[in-house]
Structure 1
Amino acid sequence: MQQRPALVIYLHGGPKRGSDNTNQMTEEAIYIITDYLRRNRIHTIIIVPQCPDSLTWGVKTNEALKALIDEYVEKDKVDENRIYLFGGSMGGTGTWLMTSAYPRLFAAVMPVAGNPETADADLVAYTPVCTVMGSDDNLMTIPRVSTFVEKLQERSGKILFDIEHGWSHVKTCIDSYTDARLDWIFGHKRLNH
């Protein structure tokens, strides 16, 4: 019997919001991640939802995203122990918040250049997290993330935290998805049900 595919959800950044369901597909990170999955022959279903103009990823979108994930799990279309969440910028913040809202849902998550400050470290600590920040990011400051990472470490969370010297916000949102980091993410499976 063939193994059910993994499920990858990618949350885009703020400029790609709308209702055309195409603008979000212009984010380069999607293609870097899918190229990795193709090269490594990881059978995957990828969902790239679009956040409405009037919202940001977070509290008001979490339920809709969870319902979408549940639909795939309940119809037995994906491996419920291999659900992964990615996001850059606003999508990075959304990844932190979604992980906090559903602490045992994801096998691993990768919020990039996102703000974790309103997430709950006690809940996020259940999920392996790889996060990347750029030293020259003018939109998201490193201390916001490093302080939260310290809280996760205090709670014995599995965390990979990299700061890339000289990287701007945009460069961080594109170039963070290295093979080594993606190996780390996809090397995790959900352990607790």
Structure 2
Amino acid sequence: MKMQHFFFKVLFLVGLFLMESCSAQSQLIEDELQTVTTENLKYYLYYPQDYESGDQKEFGLLLFLHGGGESGGDLEEIKKNGPPKLLVEGKQFPFLVLAPQNPYRRKWWNTEAIIKLLDSVVETNNVDKNRIYLTGLSRGGSAAWELATQYPKKFAAMAVVCGMAPLPYAHWINKKMPIWVFHGDKDKVISVDESDKMVAKLKEMNYDVRYTRYEDVGHNSWSRAYTTEELYEWFVKQKQK
């Protein structure tokens, strides 16, 4: 009988301990930790032919974000596609072109680091802050959408090529910023549905958006998009109001 009483007493104490532990764990403890993130971004910066003309003319700037295939440590990879490829081939642009490299093969772009780089380049060069343009392809196109939602007052115009779209946050994008979207309908990497739905949502909200939807084109829609001369003429016409 005494053993049975001892057994119940032990159970009671264990139960009391568990109740006290749960009570302690359920308390919210307020705390704070300051974090600092650093990123090493390699980049190319192109200057127009008349940049060193001697006057204090301000130029526009195009920020180009490459796709996943050009990520890593070899900066030469950036020259394979988009505006950097055209520059290597001899094309001239009337604005500066900033082309950073994502240092990680299998990570998304660090958009905060991109903005810090962009701000630094703008502050140290003759750049018109009202004529900063944004474009990106594939993973870089996804980052362009992200930048447009996170920094809506930064860009005068944006062109996205086959990127994943943040549909639920479409309304975060600056309604005054013109947008041009490109995508191939046979894209098996990033479905054309991403652009279809995003463009439809933007149009529903009366955004200024253009859509070039290529027929029988796969993921490599950037080959056609970036050789569209009208795209650069369109960029030059845009300025933040």
TM tier, smaller:
0.7 to 0.9
Q: Does 1:5 align with 2:59?
A: yes
107, 116, 136: which one pairs with 1:55? 107
For 2:88 and 2:152, the matched residues in 1 are separated by: 25
Structure 1 outlier segments of 4+, above 6 Å = 33-37
53, 62, 67: which one pairs with 2:116? 67
* Contact 1:125 1:156 (C-alpha < 8 Å) held by counterparts: no
For 2:89 and 2:237, the matched residues in 1 are separated by: 17
Aligned residue pairs: how many? Answer: 184
Q: Does 1:132 align with 2:186?
A: no
* Contact 1:73 1:80 (C-alpha < 8 Å) held by counterparts: yes
Q: RMSD value over aligned CA atoms? A: 2.2
Structure-2 change in CA distance of 1:98 and 1:150 (3 Å): same
Task: Name the residue aligned to 1:17.
Answer: 71
Structure-2 change in CA distance of 1:79 and 1:107 (3 Å): same
Q: Report sequence identity in percent.
A: 27
Task: Name the residue aligned to 1:149.
Answer: 199
| Higher RCO structure, 1 or 2 (CA under 8 Å, sep 6+) | 1
* Contact 2:57 2:126 (C-alpha < 8 Å) held by counterparts: no
* Contact 1:14 1:91 (C-alpha < 8 Å) held by counterparts: yes
SS of the residue aligned with 1:10? strand
Task: Name the residue aligned to 1:102.
Answer: 151
Which consecutive unaligned segments of at least 5 residues does structure 2 have?
1-54
111, 115, 127: which one pairs with 1:78? 127
* Contact 2:153 2:174 (C-alpha < 8 Å) held by counterparts: no
* Contact 1:111 1:130 (C-alpha < 8 Å) held by counterparts: yes
Structure-2 change in CA distance of 1:148 and 1:83 (3 Å): same
Which consecutive unaligned segments of at least 5 residues does structure 1 have?
none
For 1:56 and 1:12, the matched residues in 2 are separated by: 11
Tell me the CA shift for residue 118 of structure 1.
Answer: 5.8
SS of the residue aligned with 1:111? strand
